[in-house]
Amino acid sequence: MAEPTEASVRAEVRIWLEANFDPQLGLVEWRNKLIESGWGVPSWPKDWFGRELPMALEMVVEEEMQRIGAVGVAKTGIRRLAAATLLVHGTDDQKRRFLRRSLTGEDTWCQLFSEPGSGSDLAGATSRAEFKGNRWVINGQKVWTTSAHHADYGLLLARTNWDVPKHQGLTYFVLDIHQPGVEVRPLRQMNGHASFNQVFFTDAEVPPENLVGDIGKGWAVATTTLMHERRGADGIRTWGIASDREGRVYDEERAEIATVMEPYKWYPQRAGRVDLVIERARAAGKASDPVVRQEIAKLLCMSKPAEWTARRARAAQMQGRPQGPEGSLGKLISSHVARAAARVHTLISGADAMLSGEDSPMNGLVAEILVSVPAGSIAGGTDEIQRNIISERVLGMPKEPRTDNDRPFRDVPKNLVT
Ligand SMILES: Cc1cc2nc3c(=O)[nH]c(=O)nc-3n(C[C@H](O)[C@H](O)[C@H](O)COP(=O)(O)OP(=O)(O)OC[C@H]3O[C@@H](n4cnc5c(N)ncnc54)[C@H](O)[C@@H]3O)c2cc1C
């Protein structure tokens, strides 16, 4: 069979979409059809809803879908990380049970990694999983769990062995959130949104078939999740944009964005809204102010190369080349750009940047930028942790001294009784 080309893929997907996309279909019904055809996730394996197309051709499919306004599969949020992780480490049974429903949007996910005592030091997690009878029993606490209040399942990293060094005693599970042993308590952030939660486990249960990878090998599985999370950090500006077209499929997609995607609605502001800077300078009558112009120029000189670096990383990925240093730099650059953008917004709006409400700059959006930007340099690994990764893994500099990597985790000092 001939290798697919841009022209052949474009022609084939166009014919299929024109014959099959109907805005009056229900969202899940349409997504099931799309998944069956292999056009929903064309770069995925043929056995798992894909066509094994190179990433570059996936873009062609997306362009064709946008051309006629066809709704795509559900790919945003933590479900994206769940799917990427299960594709690599999941059993066939897990892929069968979870992948399709995650793509249709019927199941939603959260990431149960960070704990009060272990965020950057994720491998120091102390939530425990013990095998009792025929189930894993989970006790402990997670925090900063985005979307846990909407989630059906959680990607859980828990300690199964306290007598080996910390990275070797962790195991990765899929946990059903809807059970009596799981309590989800929302937290409110300084930007007014409540995206995060505390999650408490009291004898929560996980069946053995929901163990992902091997017992004690959870760190390797978690690394796959984190790699995808950091790689996606520059793509958060466009999350959750609803179409204004008419039809049942769009109505149901809008409802999905208003509920499941609600925790992410401030994510574009977290990236600094560089796109608004020139418009804001004009609206505030500062477009000819030499100081403002100078600062806008500096910001664009930083954000444009960051965008090109992200594109270079994507191009390498599309050509099947291994991720180079640009992948590791992307997340760090994006938080520098966001901070610089917040400074420029403040310079333009002055003290008004702190106001919210109807008569404030952009109806409170500028204030939301200021209080949302700090999240970017914390989520998915802080700036300091990214610098450590770059210095150790990209530049090959000496490793940060550690005192806890080569002794049983039980003996490592920590703020809890084990
Ligand atoms: C928007 C957002 C969404 C999030 N969503 C989730 C989620 O869905 N699921 C989840 O599990 N977690 C989530 N988190 C949590 C996030 O992963 C952690 O906040 C992050 O890893 C940092 O951990 P911490 O908050 O415990 O800070 P700490 O680890 O306590 O760090 C405190 C400070 O010390 C510095 N530091 C720590 N260790 C080092 C070191 N070795 N070298 C130099 N400096 C160091 C850090 O850089 C930081 O400045 C989210 C966070 C945010 C902001």
pLDDT for position 403: 83
d(CA 407, CA 95): 36
* Residue linked to tokens 């997609």: 253
d(CA 40, CA 72): 6
pLDDT tens digits along 370-392: 999 999 999 988 999 999 989 99
Amino acid at 414: K
d(CA 59, CA 61): 5
Mutate to test the pocket of ligand 1, among 108, 114, 264, 383 (most ligand atoms within 8 A of CB): 114
d(CA 310, CA 283): 30
- Helix/strand/coil for 97: helix
Ligand 1 pocket check for 146: Cβ under 6 Å: yes
pLDDT of residue 151 exceeding 70, the answer is yes
d(CA 408, CA 221): 21
- How large is the angle between the packed helices 92-104 and 27-37, nearest 10 degrees? 130
The sign of the CA dihedral 117, 193, 243, 307 is negative
Amino acid at 269: Q
Tell me which DSSP letter residue 209 carries.
G
d(CA 178, CA 157): 18
Amino acid at 207: P
Ligand 1 pocket check for 364: Cβ under 6 Å: no
CA of 381 to the centre of ligand 1 (A): 6
Cβ atoms 185, 142 nearer than 8 A:
no
CA of 383 to the centre of ligand 1 (A): 9
Amino acid at 153: Y
Residue closest to 262 by CA, chosen among 45, 77, 32, 130: 77
**What percentage of the chain's residues is helix, strand, coil (to nearest 5)?**
50, 10, 35
pLDDT for position 330: 86
- Across residues 326-342, what is the average pLDDT? 89
pLDDT for position 234: 46
pLDDT of residue 291 exceeding 80, the answer is yes
**314 or 222: whose pLDDT is higher?**
222
Tell me which DSSP letter residue 137 carries.
E
Ligand 1 pocket check for 379: Cβ under 6 Å: yes
Cβ atoms 37, 16 nearer than 8 A:
yes
pLDDT of residue 348 exceeding 90, the answer is yes
pLDDT for position 233: 55
Ligand 1 pocket check for 148: Cβ under 6 Å: no
d(CA 170, CA 407): 15
pLDDT tens digits along 220-234: 999 999 988 877 654
pLDDT for position 258: 87
pLDDT tens digits along 232-273: 654 444 556 678 899 999 999 999 988 888 888 899 999 999
* Residue linked to tokens 């990878």: 213
Q: Strand pairing partners for 138? A: 129, 204
Average pLDDT of the chain is: 92
d(CA 112, CA 103): 20
